[in-house]
Amino acid sequence: DAMVIQNPRYQVTQFGKPVTLSCSQTLNHNVMYWYQQKSSQAPKLLFHYYDKDFNNEADTPDNFQSRRPNTSFCFLDIRSPGLGDAAMYLCATSRVTGNNSPLHFGNGTRLTVT
């Protein structure tokens, strides 16, 4: 039973054409994260929401935005995708941000930019 669900699994977009990736969770976790993972690399945190509080990583480009309309859903918006934005995008959740609350990942959305 999938608990962190990402749609779509594969997304193709054109250079410069806005794209939105979605994530939903059935865990009722407070925190939702978006990671970018390029081939053969470790996941890189883009930002996270603790409830409605948005926390951006310092090196996340402005091209990346996020929305969390409610506890269950979180969206990643890429305003003007470039070829370098092609990657696997992973959503994750955790109950809280502290100890004893490991991340649970979705299966990711693989983004291709043509």
Partner 1 sequence: GQQLNQSPQSMFIQEGEDVSMNCTSSSIFNTWLWYKQDPGEGPVLLIALYKAGELTSNGRLTAQFGITRKDSFLNISASIPSDVGIYFCAGDLLNFGNEKLTFGTGTRLTIIP
Binding segment (CB under 8 A) for partner 1, from list 14-22, 37-45, 67-75, 77-85: 37-45
Residues composing the chain: 114
Q: Is 99 in the site for partner 1 (CB under 8 A)?
A: yes
* Separation of alpha carbons 68 and 3, rounded Å: 17
Q: Is 26 in the site for partner 1 (CB under 8 A)?
A: no
Checking DSSP bridges between strand 73-78 and strand 87-94, what pairing results, if any?
A: unpaired
Cis amide prior to 102 (ω within 30 degrees):
no
* Separation of alpha carbons 101 and 85, rounded Å: 29
Binding segment (CB under 8 A) for partner 1, from list 14-22, 34-42, 68-76, 77-85: 34-42
Work out how close the CB of 109 gets to partner 1 at its nearest, in angstroms, rounded to a whole number: 10
**Cβ count within 10 A of residue 44:** 15
Q: Is 11 in the site for partner 1 (CB under 8 A)?
A: no
What residue ranges bind partner 1 (CB under 8 A)? 4, 6, 31, 33, 40-43, 45, 48, 50, 55, 90, 92, 94, 96-108, 110
